[in-house]
Structure 1
Amino acid sequence: MNLSASTLRWRVGDAEWQQRVDLAACYRLVALFGWDDLIFTHISARVPGPEHHFLINPYGFMFDEITASSLVKVDVHGNKLDDTPHEINPAGFTIHSAVHAARADAICVLHLHSVNGVAVSAQEAGVLPLSQHSIFVLSSLAYHDYEGVALVEDEKPRLVRDLGDRRFLMLRNHGLLTVGRSVAEAFVAMYFFETTCRMQVGAMSGGQPLRYIAQPIIDGAQAQWEQVTRGAGGGLAWPALLRRLARTNPGHDS
């Protein structure tokens, strides 16, 4: 039997419930920005506490209908820990469990198949230093070669190795992935990643020679990232994003 939102909130406590609310909002914001791919990508968030548990979407739900109570809690082996009839995406579990296990700072892992992101992931040169947005991505970017749909456990160590300590991972011929110290940070990082790709596709379609940003500017972008976000890890923009969501698609916190 499925638990009601009020019952679940009481059972999981305030910290997990807040993580559920933020993650559900993130799913709906991805849909609002047009980055979703029907039901086929995934965002996960670590449950606060000593156990290595995390939350992920119920497989079969559109992103704009996900709620805090519909999210599925799993352990590192993919076993469901909630009283829920919903399954999880096996490819989602492979990717997300690998990153969560390897990175203590990977509180949220966000993976997309956005059109512009996949387009740039298929370009040999990858992300180019063409925009202000791109310098933040390039200062913490890694690449992982395509190995087919992520269903095989054997891929995990290579994915983790390629990601290293970076914030942005371009999955070649596949899509984009960001790691955040919070749901807010992972979302704002993805905004910069996807926007960088969209700007690059636009610039390359113009038929003019491209003007690149110099490497020394990129080298200083990590410090500038913290300055721009005031060290809030994306939290500076998050309240405004939640207000926008409340105006367009309320109900994620149920």
Structure 2
Amino acid sequence: MNAVLKPATSPRSAAPAGMHPDEWSARLDLAACYRVFAMLGWTEMIYNHITVRLPDSVSGNEKQFLINPFGLHYSEVTASNLVKIDLQGKVLDGSPYPVNPAGFTVHAAIHDGLPGAHCVMHTHTTAGVAVACVQGGLQQTNFYTAQLHGMLAYHDFEGITIHAEEGPRLLRSIGNCNAVILRNHGLLAWGKTLSQTFAVLWTLQRACEIQLATLSMGAPIPIPEDIAQKCTRDSLQFNPNHGAGRDVFDALVRQVDRIDASYKQ
């Protein structure tokens, strides 16, 4: 029997002196993710965020996070210029870059309030915001929505997200759902790993794109409840026993590597 050959990936750079290898690994993954978002067109000039909680091997019992330096485009993010912050958004690593408070308010509430929220991603894509702005939100009418049955929450728009008091209401809206539509605002996903969170957000984004195209053509065909439940059970996208999206994410990172691997700096 022939062995299955895995595509080659470029080697990871070594951690800088004085930095824990687990922090450097998290930085590499997150910087690569920012470049994947840029490649997919999921950017909003210098705005929006992807955040990752550092493992306890790095932070001990403290909650510490990595976030993009405010002012840089996603295509400029690198492992070394990511900013390490605490739950209040205080810079912990002496970074010269500021942090956007409107971005981390939502992320801090989720990281702090949901024990499994290792990673949080938020976008303002055209399809995502469009679906967030219509009555009824995401309809159960396509292959991708059917894989999100029981996984999708909604949170009503309260304005620009700079007020910490919105956090508890946001958490109540989310419950245990990994995919979230922020009404009149955009899309959000969270998960136990970066790759799982990406798989959830990608599926939600794709569902919105298909709905946008479908409604421009006519009335969609509804998917029955029992079929949607079965699709979500059968989907391997988010299943930890099947990589939880890591293979998909790695494939996209290999594309980024071929275009520009400077995120490893």
TM-score range, shorter chain: over 0.9
Q: Which of these residues, 41, 44, 47, is aligned with residue 37 of structure 1?
A: 44
Give the counterpart of 1:251 among 231, 237, 262: 262
- Listed one character per residue, the Cα deviations across residues 149-205 of structure 1 (whole Å, up to 9, x for unaligned) are 000011000011111111101000000000121111111211111111010000000
SS at match of 1:88: coil
Letter in 2 for 1:217: I
Deviation at 1:143, TM superposition (A): 0.2
Alignment of 1:13-24 (within 5 A): 13-24=20-31
SS in 1 for 2:52: strand
Matched, 1:215 2:222: no
Q: CA deviation at 1:28?
A: 0.9
Q: Which residue of 2 aligns with 1:104?
A: 115
For structure 1, which segment, 181-190 or 162-171, has the greater mean C-alpha deviation from structure 2 after superposition? 181-190
- 1:133 Cα shift? 0.9
- Which residue number corresponds to residue 167 of structure 1? 178
Q: Specify the alignment match of 1:202 in structure 2.
A: 213
Unaligned runs of 5+ in 1: 1-5
Deviation at 1:227, TM superposition (A): 6.8
* Structure 1 residue identity aligned to 2:191: G
Amino acid of the structure 2 residue aligned with 1:114: T
Aligned-residue sequence identity (percent) comes to 36
1: CA distance between counterparts of 2:14 and 2:90? 21
Distance 1:228 1:83 in 2: 36
Q: Is 1:94 aligned to 2:130, yes or no?
A: no
Instruction: Please report how far the alpha carbon of residue 40 of structure 1 lies from its aligned counterpart in structure 2 after TM superposition.
Output: 1.1
* 1:186 equivalent among 187, 197, 211: 197
Counterpart residue type for residue 87 of structure 1 = P
User: Which one of the candidate residues 124, 127, 144 is aligned to 1:133?
Assistant: 144
Residues 76 and 97 in structure 1, CA contact (< 8 A), matched pair in contact too? yes
Whether the 8 Å contact between 1:171 and 1:177 is mirrored in structure 2 is yes
Please state whether the residue corresponding to 1:176 is helix, strand or coil.
Answer: strand
Correspondence for 2:65 among 51, 54, 57? 54
Letter in 2 for 1:134: T
Range with greater deviation from structure 2 (6-15 or 82-91): 6-15
Instruction: Give the drift of 1:239.
Output: 1.8
The alignment of Structure 1 onto Structure 2 pairs a total of residues equal to 248
TM-score for the superposition, normalised by structure 1: 0.93
The answer to whether the Cα contact below 8 Å between 1:8 and 1:69 also exists between their aligned partners in 2 is no
- Kindly indicate whether the alpha-carbon contact (under 8 Å) linking 2:199 and 2:237 is maintained by their aligned counterparts in 1: no
2:81 is aligned with 1:70: yes
C-alpha distance in structure 2 between counterparts of 1:126 and 1:189, whole Å: 17
| CA separation of 1:227 and 1:42: change in aligned 2, threshold 3 A | closer
Contact 1:54 1:74 in 2 (8 A): yes
Q: Which residue of 2 aligns with 1:146?
A: 157
Mapped to 1, the partners of 2:222 and 2:186 lie a distance apart of 23
Does structure 1 retain, via aligned residues, the 8 Å contact 2:33–2:253? Answer: no
Query: CA RMSD of the aligned region, Å?
Result: 1.6
User: Separation in 2 of the partners of 1:7 and 1:221?
Assistant: 41
Q: Structure 1 residues 154, 192: CA separation in 2 closer, same or farther (over 3 Å shift)?
A: same
Worse-matched range after superposition: 80-89 or 10-19: 10-19
By how many angstroms is 1:8 displaced?
Answer: 6.6
Q: Which residue of 2 aligns with 1:225?
A: 235
SS in 1 for 2:180: strand
Report the counterpart of residue 118 of structure 1 in structure 2: 129
Partner letter of residue 62 of structure 2?
Answer: E
Give structure 2 stretches of 5+ with no counterpart.
1-12
